[in-house]
């Protein structure tokens, strides 16, 4: 009986030792990183970029785990998690969120050859993030009822446009546009424009797609949107009765915003994250943005859709895209004038 007890105790001790060794090895592996796994926090929706990420997995053999959510929500989560975050990469819908993480010291500098793939305005000056695609602000106008489109978004407060214009003030892209207007034209001018639009019976929509549909249906004649929404409609109906109209060169109405990516300092290994960034900027990745999401490619070597004014011929405002991070001030202003609840 005693010998059985001794043998049982010895077996228990060895089990505990093996468990401890296993835990130590697991910790060591985690700290060294797994070059075949990548964890992405994506503020871009699965419908937009899911197929491209699947193609990345196929091309590289790197397994990807993704947390999809709003860009602002994920940026807040990363700021709270800090170096404890499981994420390797932050894929954001706008530069403001990337700037917030960069200012918080949560992202690391990318190699020079990555930054040099895009024009200067589309990468952080210190190399902490890089754009992957671009989207231009435009007016979507009826091709049947607007023979003389406005030259500027500021013209939309004029009487001739009363009740004919739509906007989506709860939309993130619209809010980035208003943020740009605040930076370029000042708080007073932006507030006056917002109040003028409301006084001119602007029609409110929940998003950009309903605005484009409303123009096609004749409900309104003009809408403030991003350029790529039109192509979702013309793909189904080539005769859809609306066109993109570029306005305000060098001003807020000519804003070109970006989606972009950053490699987090919490990354277990740099290799899979860098492979993902390089893939997004590759010819395959940039062609996907042109053909599938209808955005502007930003890396050299891939042209935009033929229906679009080439990116290097646009004249966006000379505004650091990182300044679009002041979303709180924009939300306060939109609430103050009554554009949002």
> Are residues 260 and 121 part of one domain?
yes
**pLDDT at residue 137 in the model:** 96
**pLDDT at residue 321 in the model:** 84
Structure tokens at 281: 């900027």
Beta bridge partners of 66: 40
241 located within any domain: yes
Range of the domain at 54: 35-134+256-308
> Are residues 41 and 55 part of one domain?
yes
User: What is the band of 34 on the pLDDT scale with cuts at 50, 70, 90?
Assistant: low
User: What is the band of 86 on the pLDDT scale with cuts at 50, 70, 90?
Assistant: very high
Q: How far apart are CA 102 and CA 71, in angstroms?
A: 14
Task: Count how many domains the chain has.
Answer: 2
Evaluated on CA atoms 312, 313, 314, 316, the torsion sign reads positive
Half-sphere exposure of 202 (CA within 13 A, CB side): 25
Give me the mean pLDDT over the 103-121 stretch.
94
- Tell me: pLDDT of 31 over 90: no
Beta carbons of 229 and 209 less than 8 angstroms apart: yes
In the chain, % of residues over pLDDT 90: 76
> Are residues 245 and 159 part of one domain?
yes
> Are residues 166 and 127 part of one domain?
no
48 located within any domain: yes
> Are residues 264 and 127 part of one domain?
yes
Closest CA to 312 of 126, 110, 136, 112: 136
Q: What is the DSSP letter of 295?
A: P
> Are residues 260 and 218 part of one domain?
no
**pLDDT at residue 323 in the model:** 79
Question: Mean of the per-residue pLDDT values for the chain?
Answer: 89
pTM metric for this prediction: 0.83
14 located within any domain: no
**pLDDT at residue 28 in the model:** 32
> Are residues 173 and 112 part of one domain?
no
> Are residues 77 and 112 part of one domain?
yes
CATH number for the domain including 64? 3.40.190.10
User: pLDDT tens, 87-110?
Assistant: 999 999 888 889 889 989 999 999
> Are residues 196 and 165 part of one domain?
yes
User: What is the band of 43 on the pLDDT scale with cuts at 50, 70, 90?
Assistant: very high
- Tell me: pLDDT of 25 over 90: no
> Are residues 218 and 187 part of one domain?
yes
**pLDDT at residue 13 in the model:** 37
List of long-range contacts for 273-279, beta carbons under 8 Å, 24+ apart = 273/38, 273/88, 273/89, 274/110, 274/111, 274/114, 275/38, 275/56, 275/60, 275/62, 276/38, 276/40, 276/56, 276/62, 276/64, 276/89, 277/89, 277/110, 277/114, 277/130, 278/114, 279/56, 279/59, 279/60
Host H or E run for residue 52: helix 46-60
User: What is the band of 324 on the pLDDT scale with cuts at 50, 70, 90?
Assistant: confident
Give me the mean pLDDT over the 317-327 stretch.
81
> Are residues 282 and 298 part of one domain?
yes
Half-sphere exposure of 276 (CA within 13 A, CB side): 34
User: pLDDT tens, 256-311?
Assistant: 999 999 999 999 889 999 999 999 999 999 999 999 999 999 998 999 999 899 98
290 located within any domain: yes
> Are residues 266 and 125 part of one domain?
yes
């Amino acid at each position: 009986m005693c010998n059985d007890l001794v043998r049982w105790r010895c077996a228990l001790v060895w089990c505990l030792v093996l468990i401890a060794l296993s835990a130590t090895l697991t910790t060591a592996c985690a700290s060294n990183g797994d070059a075949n796994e990548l964890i992405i926090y994506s503020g871009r929706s699965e419908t937009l970029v899911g197929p491209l990420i699947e193609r990345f997995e196929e091309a590289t053999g790197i397994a990807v785990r993704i947390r999809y959510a709003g860009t602002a929500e994920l940026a807040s989560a990363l700021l709270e998690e800090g170096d404890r975050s499981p994420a390797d990469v932050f894929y954001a819908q706008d530069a403001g969120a990337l700037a917030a993480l960069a200012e918080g010291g949560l992202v690391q500098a990318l190699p020079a050859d990555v930054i040099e793939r895009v024009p200067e305005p589309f990468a952080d000056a210190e190399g902490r993030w890089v754009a992957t695609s671009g989207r231009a602000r435009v007016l979507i106008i009826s091709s049947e009822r607007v023979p003389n489109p406005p030259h500027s978004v500021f013209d939309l407060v004029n009487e001739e446009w009363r009740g004919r214009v739509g906007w989506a003030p709860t939309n993130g892209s619209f809010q980035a546009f208003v943020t740009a207007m605040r930076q370029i034209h000042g708080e007073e001018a932006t507030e006056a424009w917002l109040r003028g639009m409301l006084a001119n019976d602007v029609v409110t929509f929940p998003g950009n797609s309903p605005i484009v549909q409303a123009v096609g249906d004749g409900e309104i004649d003009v809408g403030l949107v991003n350029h790529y929404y039109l192509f979702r409609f013309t793909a189904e109906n080539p005769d859809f009765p609306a066109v993109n109209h570029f306005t305000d060169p060098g001003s807020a109405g000519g804003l070109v915003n970006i989606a972009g990516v950053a490699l987090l300092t919490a990354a277990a290994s740099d290799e899979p994250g860098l492979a993902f960034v390089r893939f997004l900027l590759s010819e395959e990745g940039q062609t996907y943005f042109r053909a599938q999401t209808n955005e502007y490619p930003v890396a050299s070597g891939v042209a935009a859709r033929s229906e679009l004014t080439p990116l290097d011929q646009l004249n966006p405002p000379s505004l650091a895209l990182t300044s679009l991070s002041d979303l709180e001030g924009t939300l306060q202003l939109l609430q103050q004038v009554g554009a949002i609840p």
